[in-house]
Amino acid sequence: MGFVIKRVYEPAEASDGYRVLVDRLWPRGVSKERAELELWDKDVAPSPELRTEWHHDRERFEEFASRYRDELDASEAARALLALGTEHDRVTLLFGARDEQVNHAAVLLEWLGAHGASVEPIG
């Protein structure tokens, strides 16, 4: 099955498998109980500098994605997340952004796929 992304605001489902929040900041309005996480992996999220600089500006997404991929290439946390995919049938990467297409989790999912992980397409 592999990796898939999902907004943390959507209800947890049994089919989600192993649920990992991949945001550096805790999402507003979501309790830890409601999130039903197995892991909060802050270190795989974009650096605070990159996140602040980008600020979800759609026009700068390609630049952001390129820089974020560079961060992932140098990240031990990203390699550990990649290995997690071999330990679980399905890993759901949770994110808080409103835009389900233009966000760091979509870039992360693409990066995982480029590094040999099985990923499910977005949408």
Mean pLDDT of 18-32: 96
The residue behind tokens 């989790």 is: 105
Share of the chain above pLDDT 90, in %: 85
DSSP at 10: S
Q: What average pLDDT does the segment 70-83 reach? A: 97
Q: How much is the average pLDDT of 37-45? A: 97
Residue the block writes with tokens 């990923």: 119
**Nearest in space to 66 (alpha carbons), one of 22, 111, 119:** 111
Phi-psi region of 116 (alpha: psi -120 to 50; beta: other; left: phi over 0): left
Distance CA 65, CA 3 (A): 18
Least confident range of 42-46, 51-55, 61-65:
51-55
Average pLDDT over residues 69-79: 97
